[in-house]
Structure 1
């Protein structure tokens, strides 16, 4: 039910994000989803990749600081209000989100939202109880 996510800490300087992505490309690792948050000094590049442990090792071998964490992947209808339904389930259980990011699945007019609540297990339970379609890491990774 949990999906591994890489968080890569990047100095906020020209070419640093591309360097990290080049390492993954050279290693043959495809990116399924990504998000970046930045400040004036550094950024956090969050990635979902099919082989997170191997990707972490490759990046660390190239002097990147990488943390592996977990998120919840939820499939939802790709229409106005789809995300609001998912957030309503969490709000109804007083579950706060640290962050989220999403991407569309063009083949079936659905979207996938990746959620990181303060307590991931409570988030999973609330979503399951609320009827949300939680999907596996293998589905996200395209395996």
Structure 2
């Protein structure tokens, strides 16, 4: 079996830099001062950036959801630290130019009868443009719908790009 342009591996069966879904990690933290800082510090010196972040607190714990620039290495760091994690796929979509870009994304998904269950902005700006991470009920259909309507899908490779290389 060769690897490269002649590869017959189905796109849907591989995972890597250009896989179209973004991997979100959810961790549960005690509702105590400094807990988020401890998690963020675990990535210090690794070259891995936190690219998106969402924190929802409850009485006893906080749910922290985030995307990192290297999901495979990020998972290893979280697992080594003993944190319980949940990994899910999200769609990263670049917001189009013009007024109300989020309205255009939501409208496209609504027309396809797709429900958004989570959404938050990316801290990094792949391709220099604003983008959001979205969780939907049917990720494959949502990606197909957004692609057909001309939206740019953000891949894991877009999050891993070095922001200093274009300066």
User: TM-score normalized by structure 2?
Assistant: 0.75
Gaps of 5+ in 2: 1-19, 163-167
Deviation at 1:140, TM superposition (A): 2.2
Alignment of structure 1 residues 1-143 onto 2, 5 Å = 1-77=20-96, 80-103=99-122, 105=125, 108=128, 110-142=129-161
Larger Rg: 2
- Structure 1: where are the runs of 5+ without partners? none
Q: Retained in 2: the 8 A contact 1:20–1:64?
A: no
Q: Counterparts of 1:54 and 1:21 in 2: how far apart (Å)?
A: 14
TM-superposed deviation, 1:106: 9.4
Instruction: Say which SS state the counterpart of residue 44 (structure 2) adopts.
Output: helix
Q: Counterparts of 2:157 and 2:49 in 1: how far apart (Å)?
A: 14
How many residue pairs get aligned? The number is: 142
- Tell me by how many angstroms 1:79 deviates: 5.2
Distance verdict in 2 for CA 1:11–1:80, change over 3 Å: farther
The match for 2:7 is none
Q: Is the 8 A contact 2:126 2:158 kept in 1?
A: no
Higher helix share: 1
Structure 1 residues 12, 79: closer, same or farther in 2, change over 3 A?
farther
Q: CA RMSD in A?
A: 2.1
Q: Sort the Cα spacing of 1:130 and 1:4 in 2 relative to 1 into closer, same or farther, 3 A.
A: same
- Secondary structure at the residue paired with 2:113? coil
TM superposition score normalised by structure 1: 0.87
Report if aligned partners of 1:78, 1:111 keep a CA contact under 8 Å in 2: no
